[in-house]
C-alpha cells in the first residue's frame, strides 16, 4: 500500500439499538463496503431517539477519514 499524502473526510450517522459505540461501528462497517483506506474516525455527536421514556435508538455522527489514492 502506498503512503497517502491526502485524506478525504466524510460525515456519516450510524445507529444501533445497543449503544453509541455500536452506532459508530455500524457507520464504519457500512462505509468500508465502498470506501478503501479508512484511516480513522472522529465522533462529533452522540444522540438518541427516545420512545416511552427510554432510549430506543442510539445514533453516532462520525467523520470518517480515508487516504486518497495516487
**Which pLDDT tens digits describe the chain residue by residue (70 residues)?**
456 688 999 999 999 999 999 999 999 999 999 999 899 999 999 999 999 999 999 999 999 999 987 6
Which bin fits 22, alpha (ψ -120 to 50), beta or left (φ > 0)? alpha
| Cross-strand pairs, 67 | 7
Which residue ranges form the domains of the chain, and what is each CATH number?
Answer: 7-67 (3.30.1660.10)
On whether the CB atoms of residues 66 and 12 are closer than 8 A, the answer is no
Which residue from 15, 46, 17 is spatially nearest to 28, judged by alpha carbons? 15
Amino acid at each position: 500500500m502506498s503512503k497517502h499524502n491526502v485524506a478525504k473526510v466524510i460525515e456519516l450517522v450510524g445507529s444501533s439499538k445497543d449503544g453509541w459505540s455500536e452506532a459508530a461501528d455500524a457507520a464504519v462497517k457500512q462505509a468500508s463496503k465502498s470506501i478503501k483506506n479508512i484511516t480513522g474516525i472522529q465522533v462529533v455527536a452522540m444522540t438518541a431517539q427516545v420512545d416511552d421514556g427510554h432510549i430506543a435508538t442510539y445514533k453516532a455522527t462520525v467523520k470518517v477519514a480515508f487516504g486518497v489514492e495516487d
